[in-house]
Structure 1
Amino acid sequence: MISSSPRPASSASRIVRTNLTGTVISGLETFGRVVRLGLDALRGIATDTIRLRFQWREMLQVCWFLVAVTALPAILMAVPFGVIVSVQVGNLIKNLGADALLGAASGLGVVKQGAPIATGLLLGGAGAAAIAADLGARTIREEIDALRVMGVDPIHRLVVPRMAAMIIVAPLLNVLIMFAGVVAGYVVAVFSQGVTPGSYWATFGSFTVVADIVVSLAKSIIFGFLVVVIACQRGMEARGGPRGVADGVNAAVVLSVVSIILVNLLISQLADLFLPVRVA
């Protein structure tokens, strides 16, 4: 008797391929909608400002909310980060007999990596969750559809002021984290590891140049842009009642964090390639 071919196995593989293809296509479509939303919002910031239709009050309210929910956590995150970098790097440098370089090492770590990543994670956690929840609730209550019926573009009315607020708050938060982290590293280095204050600030100023601070601020602005675009897209596409809003908030936070890590890796590699560490 001739055995037949294993049809269940072939049908299962076909189902897997179909699901995988559908997932990839859906992901690409979502990515395309996110890119289109980001470009429309950037264009809206320029056009609304020129036409004097920019929602200044909404933007200021969002700015104040973002500052209120991220300022204190930023300091609480920056202080232990600066301490950890100073202690770990200090122990290594002390074994090498180069205690005077502790300011340069800890300062570069906080300015180039710690501050922008902490800024992105804070905005991706608090900011993305709040924006996605707000827009998701508006979508579920059909307020977004009502705006479209009245001839009001929800991108200009809701997305544009939130994007402008995030772009303004992100570098300010980054500067706050840089200051708190560097001061915390200085306190640990001077009072715990025996480094003189003059050598700490001298090496910090010699190795940390203006280009490093510019790159750090640029990172924070890019991270804020990614966070607000992802949060707005997930909020405005929420479906299925309160559970859909919760799913949108969760997706916004997760996607924001993943995007920040990947983009930070890319920018860091490009910055090290074109702006290597050098003595000022």
Structure 2
Amino acid sequence: MSTVSVTPPSTPAESPSAVLRRNFSDTVLSSLATFGRALRIGVRATRIGIEDLVRLRFQVREGLAQAWFLIKVTAIPSVLIAIPFGVILSVQVGNIVSQLGANSMIGAAGGLGVIKQGAPMAAGILLGGAGAAAIAADLGARTVREEVDAMRVMGVDPVQRLVVPRIAAMMLVAPLLNILIIVVGITAGFIVAVAALDVTPGSYWDSFGAFTSSTDVWVSLVKSLLFGFLVVIIACQRGLEATGGPRGVADGVNAAVVMSVATITALNTVVTQLVTMFLPMRTA
């Protein structure tokens, strides 16, 4: 008795353009879903943090412990970044303005560059690198060890217990880091301008004071707060969603760092354009 084999009809292969469209749509939908989850965690953590402050049950000790940890991992790198940044900015600006015979403007250009762009970006990138990696690794390890699930079983809200103190710590450390970078960067630029570019100290600080206002400093601090908030929310979201053991924790840490730096860069562009539109630089 012979058997007849039936070959199933072959499905037509997808065209490269269809594969690209499908991958692109999947990536966009996945990114929007991730953004939505992170936004939900941020809104919920903010609401819980405000309620805890009003009811005087905020975890002050845990928040200070997290803030001290962030300071330890970011303070020295901030100084190491601020010094070459201030030096490079003074040298590059000095080479340009010296050809125009306006060496006294080095203070204005260097100071504004550090305050408005260099300090908040450097603070955000450091917090997104060291801070986000540490937070995502800590929460990811707790998640894969099922500690977060155990907290939910015991009636403890992981957002209240783990996320809120880290947000408070980041909101405290981000402006402090920003101020540290401003001071070190401007000081380094001043030393280079006076020692290597033959700029008198008086003209440096005169031009710096003529073009720099307190509004520039406040805008820089607000930008650092926004960057810090985004960094901690992304890190907490990736850590709480880690799966697959140590490999999943490593992937979460990598994603937290990459997403933090990319988000900070995009947000800095938007904020800079808005500030330029509504707060144009005043003339001396």
Same fold (TM over 0.5): yes
Kindly indicate whether residue 84 of structure 2 is the aligned counterpart of residue 80 of structure 1. Answer: yes
Structure 2 residue aligned with 1:4: none
Structure 2 residue aligned with 1:183: 187
Distance 1:144 1:195, change over 3 A: same
Structure 2 matches for 1:143-154, cutoff 5 A? 143-154=147-158
Q: Which residue identity is paired with 2:226?
A: I
Which of 204, 208, 216 lines up with 2:208 in the alignment?
204
Deviation by residue 1:178-201 (Cα, 9 ceiling, x = unmatched) = 000000000000011010000100
In structure 2, the gaps of 5 or more residues are 1-10
In structure 1, the gaps of 5 or more residues are 1-6
Identity score, percent: 64
Kindly indicate whether residue 42 of structure 2 is the aligned counterpart of residue 27 of structure 1. Answer: no
Larger radius of gyration: 2
Aligned residues: 275
Kindly indicate whether residue 106 of structure 2 is the aligned counterpart of residue 102 of structure 1. Answer: yes
Q: Which residue identity is paired with 2:189?
A: G
Distance 1:189 1:14, change over 3 A: closer
Structure 1 residue aligned with 2:123: 119
SS of alignment partner, residue 279 of structure 1: coil
Structure 2 residue aligned with 1:133: 137
Q: Which residue identity is paired with 2:91?
A: V
Structure 2 residue aligned with 1:271: 275
Deviation by residue 1:128-186 (Cα, 9 ceiling, x = unmatched) = 00000000000001011011111111000000000000011000000000000000000
Which of 244, 258, 261 lines up with 1:257 in the alignment?
261
Deviation at 1:113, TM superposition (A): 0.3
Structure 1 residue aligned with 2:5: none
Structure 1 residue aligned with 2:239: 235
Which of 40, 43, 48 lines up with 2:44 in the alignment?
40
Deviation at 1:9, TM superposition (A): 4.7
Structure 1 residue aligned with 2:170: 166
Scaled by the length of structure 1, what TM-score is found? 0.95
Instruction: Give the RMSD, CA atoms, in angstroms.
Output: 1.5
Deviation by residue 1:29-67 (Cα, 9 ceiling, x = unmatched) = 111001111111111110011122211111111110011
Q: Which residue identity is paired with 1:125?
A: G
Deviation at 1:15, TM superposition (A): 4.6
Deviation by residue 1:182-221 (Cα, 9 ceiling, x = unmatched) = 0000000001101000010011011010110000000000
Q: Which residue identity is paired with 2:52?
A: D
